[in-house]
A and B are shown apart, each in its own frame.
Chain A
Amino acid sequence: MRKIIKDQKVIEDQWVELSDEQCAETLPKGKLIVPVSAWQAHKEQLIAHAEPIGILLAPDEQPADIAEDLEHFALVAISFPKFADGRGYSSARELRTRFSYDKEIRAVGDVLRDQIYLMARCGFNAFAVREDRCINDALNAFNDFSVNYQADAVEQKPLYQYR
Chain B
Amino acid sequence: MYVYSEYDQKIIEERVAQYRGQTERFLAGDLSEDEFLVLRLQNGLYVQRHAPMLRIAIPHGMFTAVQMRKMAELSRTYDKGYAHFTTRQNLQLNWPKLEQVPDILEELASVQMHAIQTSGNCIRNTTSDQYAGVAKDETVDPRPYCEIIRQWSTFHPEFALLGRKFKIAVSGSKQDRAAVQVHDVGLYLTHNSEGQLGFKVYVGGGLGRTPVVAPLVNEFVAEHDILSYLEAVLRVYNRNGRRDNKYKARIKILVRAMTPEVFAEKVNQEWAELKDGPMKLPQQEIDRVKACFQPPAYEQLDAQDSEFLEKLESDGSFKVWVNQNVADHKVNGYSIVNISLKDTSRAPGDVSAEDMEIIADLADKYSFSELRSTHTQNLVLADVKQNQLYELWQTLKTHQFATPNIGLLTDMICCPGGDFCALANAKSIPIAEQIQRRFDDLDTLHNIGELELNISGCMNACGHHHVGNIGVLGVDKKGSEFYQISIGGSSKEDAAIGKILGPSFDEDDVADVVEKIINVYVEQRTDGERFIDTCRRIGIDPFKERVYAKNN
Contact = CB atoms under 8 A, between A and B. Distances in A.
A17 B408 CA distance: 64
Interface string A127-159: 000000110000000001111111111001111
Contacts of B18: 144-145
A85 B279 CA distance: 26
Given A98-B273, A158-B279, A161-B278, A148 B157 contact: yes
Contacts of B284: 163
The secondary structure that dominates the A interface is: loop
A85 B164 CA distance: 10
A5 interface: no
A147 B282 CA distance: 19
B512 interface: no
Contact of B278 (A146, A148, A149, A158): A158
Contacts of B39: 114
A87 interface: yes
Q: Which of B18, B151, B157 has the most CB of A within 10 A?
A: B157
B253 interface: no
Nearest to A152: B157
Contacts of A145: 11, 14-15, 18, 155
B291 interface: no
Contacts of A134: 30
A86 interface: yes
Interface stretch (B235-243, B342-350, B497-505, B543-551): B235-243
A53 interface: no
Contacts of B281: 160
A86 B38 contact: no
Contacts of B235: 90
B155 A149 contact: yes
B158 A147 contact: no
A93 interface: yes
A155 B10 CA distance: 18
B154 interface: yes
A150 B231 CA distance: 11
| Size bin of chain A's contact surface | 35 or more
Contact of B279 (A83, A93, A122, A151): A151
A119 B160 CA distance: 10
A115 B163 CA distance: 16
29 contacts: A85-B243, A86-B159, A86-B160, A86-B162, A86-B163, A89-B157, A90-B235, A90-B238, A93-B157, A93-B158, A112-B35, A118-B158, A122-B157, A133-B30, A145-B11, A145-B18, A147-B11, A148-B157, A149-B7, A149-B152, A151-B279, A152-B157, A152-B158, A157-B278, A158-B227, A158-B279, A159-B7, A159-B151, A163-B284
Given A86-B161, A149-B155, 7 more contacts: A89-B159, A119-B157, A145-B15, A145-B18, A147-B10, A147-B11, A152-B157
Interface of A: 59, 62, 83-87, 89-90, 93, 98, 112, 114-115, 118-119, 121-122, 133-134, 144-153, 156-161, 163
Interface of B: 5, 7, 10-11, 14-15, 18, 22, 30-31, 34-35, 38-39, 121, 151-152, 154-163, 227, 235, 238-239, 243, 273, 278-279, 281-282, 284-285, 288
